[in-house]
Each structure stands twice: as C-alpha cells, then as structure tokens.
Amino acid sequence: MQEEKTIKAKSDPDVNSVFGYGFADVIGQYDWDETLRLVAGATDDDVRRVLAVARRNTRRLTPEEFAVLISEAADPYLEEMAQLAHHFTQEKFGNTISMYIPMYVGNACTNKCVYCGFNHDNPFERTVLTPEQVEEECKAIRKLAPFENLLIVSGEYPSLCGVEYLEKVLRIARPYFHNLTIEVQPMRSSSYARLVKSGLDGVVCFQETYHKEAYKKYHPRGMKSHYDWRLNGFDRMGDARVHKIGMGVLLGLEDWRADIVMLARHLRYLQKKYWRSRFSVNFPRMRPSESGFQPVSIISDRQLARLTAAFRIFDHEADISFSTREAPEYRRHIMPLGVTSMSAGSRTEPGGYAVYRDKALEQFEVSDGREPADVARQIREAGFEPVWKDWDKIFD
C-alpha cells in the first residue's frame, strides 16, 4: 500500500506540487552566497570570453556565463552588449513591440506580504468586480486602444477569485480580446488545465525572491508564505500545457544579482522540461505602495539596462516585458536592448478603467501614466512597430 502511494505521488502533477517534485528539489544545489561570489568575482577576461561565445552563436549561454554579463566587470562593454542584444532581438522578433494592458478584477488578498499594497492588513476597502463590472471594464479598455493582449490580475484570495470566478472572467473577456493571461494565486495543475479549456493563454507569476530564508520574512502569512508551493507553480503550469509562462523577481527585496541568476537557472530548467510552452520574463523594480516598504537592494538605471541586454544575449527567444512601473523616458531608452512587450494606459486598481476610476485601490504606483496612443507614438519614433495582436491559437 505504501508503494502505491509513492508511485502516485510521482505521477500525479497535483500531488507532486504538494510534495515538492519540481524546481524546489533542484534549487537546493545552488548556493546563494556562492552565486553572489560568481557575479562579484567576474573579471574583464571572463567578460571577453563570454561575449566571444555569444558572438559565435553556436550554443546558448549557461546561467553561469550570464552571471558574468550582469557583473560590474561587464559595465565597460554595455554598448557592445546593447548592439548584440538588439541583433538577437531583431533576428527573433523583428522591430516589433507587443502591446498589452492589465485589468485588475480584485484587490482582496489573504496574504500579508510586507511590500504590497494589497497586504491583508492594509486598512482600505476591498473590491472584487462582478461579472457585469468585468464586462464594463473590457468595453472601456477596448475604447482606449485596439488591445488584444489582456493581463487579468487579482489579489490572492481563492474563495473569492478562484477557478470558478476566473472561468467567468475569461469567458466574459474572450469576445473582446484574443490573448488572455492571468496573474493570480498559484494553482494546481488541474485548475490551470481547466482554465486553459476556458480560454486561458498564459500565466504570469513572480517568485519575488529565490532566497528561501528571506522569502519567509517578506511573506509571513497566507498561502504565499509557502515557498516550495509557489516555486513549483511553474511546473504545474507546464504540466497543464499553458501556452505562455511568465516569470520574474521583484528587484529590491534581496540582492538582485543572485535573484536574477537564480531566475536564469529556473528558466533553463523549465525550457528543457516544458518545451511546448513559451516563456516571458519581467524585471520589475519596487515602486511605492500603500505598504510603505523600502527596497533593500537598489538597482540603478544603468544596471537594469545591462541586465536587460545580458538576458537577451543569454536567451534569444524569451519575451522581455517592461511595464508602466518604469518612467516614459527610461522605457524609450531600454527598448533597443531586447524589450519585446510593453504595457500602456495601465490602472492598477480594480475597476480603474470604468467602474471605480476615482478610488485609490491601486497595488503600486504607476510611473508611466500616458495614454496608449502616446506610448505607441513613442515606440514608432524609436524605430519600432507597436503590435496590438501577435498570435492566434489557429497558427500555434
């Protein structure tokens, strides 16, 4: 009987997610401090060697080689890295920037993340949109610009914004948008598979930090406090054959260099195991929120530019996204370094486009508050083409 339970645990994706069969088992082989030393110890010769490998383009760089490119030793080579990143981006994506917009459907959350405006203990009114309000928001977004890529976001509150609720939201949104992605609480594989059948195209999830000990400090209560459950969520997405899996860390919690190298290792693991899925990465810097939390680790504009170019050199196929967390001028300058998607016109509060336009319910402060048409104009002026719709399932 015990043997039968063991076999089931290794074959059932939902059981696997609970018992830790996934990247949570793999990450233990990577030491955080050793990873930091790998970045800090990079030399000029190391940078030259890695760039020579990248230029030959006969194989993909390893995460350890990527670590060299985000080091301070690589800073004098930023212009060369920028040109190489631009070349690889054009080869795969052309001169296009895919446009998307988030739609927040709820800010109720059971988690107590110390840095988040949706923290369960923050004293403000909680909102979860009704189906009628969701449709009102969809109509308002369609009037803003011809968006076809919609990111549906909610706080992590499964009893209010669980599978059944998300199914309704997806079915309401489908007639208005061709590509639907969610950023909600991690789920079981069976739940992701169920949502895929209801029209889901992609899932975005931020691990926030890969530092396991520090993770608990930032996420003291709620389901999000379970590090392995969240980390293995990406395996569950892959098991459910989610078309596009979005990853990221929150730059400002722990040392960004180690977190980003861990992200690169995680991506390589997922690409090998779930090769049917596409992947995207996002590098959000911490912004002011209702929590009042101050970043522990600061990444400068130049360091973020080097990181973006380095990641494109590391991986030619991953979508690199920059949201309205960043200011307009910075988004203009970062575009040639490997960026392939951008948000515009974002409101980070539930009902922000039509239902509750004047309520202060936002998750974080937006830095680029321009209208979508103004963002698109800047993209064209920079020599790129804004694309509002970039794929259909029929062509997949």
Q: Return the pLDDT at 289.
A: 55
Instruction: Provide the pLDDT confidence category of residue 12 given band limits of 50, 70 and 90.
Output: very low
Give me 370's structure tokens. Answer: 């321009």
Give the pLDDT confidence score for residue 119 in this predicted structure.
75
Q: Which residue has the higher pLDDT, 290 or 245?
A: 245
Distances (CA, A) of 167 to 4, 109, 172, 200: 34, 19, 9, 9
Residues 225 and 170: their CA atoms lie apart, in Å, by 27
Whole-number pLDDT of residue 353: 95
Instruction: Evaluate if residue 52 carries a pLDDT over 90.
Output: yes
- Cβ(316)–Cβ(88) under 8 Å? yes
Q: Which two tokens stand for residue 323?
A: 């949201």
So what CATH class is 2-395? alpha beta
Per-residue pLDDT at 171 = 97
The rounded distance, in Å, linking the Cα atoms of 193 and 239 is: 8
Sign of torsion, CA 162 164 168 171? positive
**Are 114 and 225 within 8 A, CB to CB?**
no
Range from 291-295, 354-358, 377-381 carrying the lowest mean pLDDT: 291-295
**pTM for the full model?**
0.90
Is residue 351 a contact partner of residue 127, using CB atoms and an 8 Å limit? yes
**Mean pLDDT along residues 230-251:** 97
Per-residue confidence (pLDDT) for residue 392, from 0 to 100: 54
Q: What is the pLDDT of residues 249-261, one digit of tens each?
A: 999 899 999 999 9
3-state secondary structure of 390: coil
> pLDDT tier at 117 (50, 70, 90 boundaries)?
confident
Does the structure show a pLDDT above 90 at 121?
no
- What tokens appear for 341 in the block? 């998607």
**Tell me, what's the pLDDT at 78?**
98
Q: Exposed, middle or buried, 245 (CB in 10 Å: 0-12/13-18/19+)? A: buried
Given a contact cutoff of 8 angstroms between Cβ atoms, the answer to whether 178 and 148 are in contact is yes
For the chain, the structural domain boundaries read: 2-395
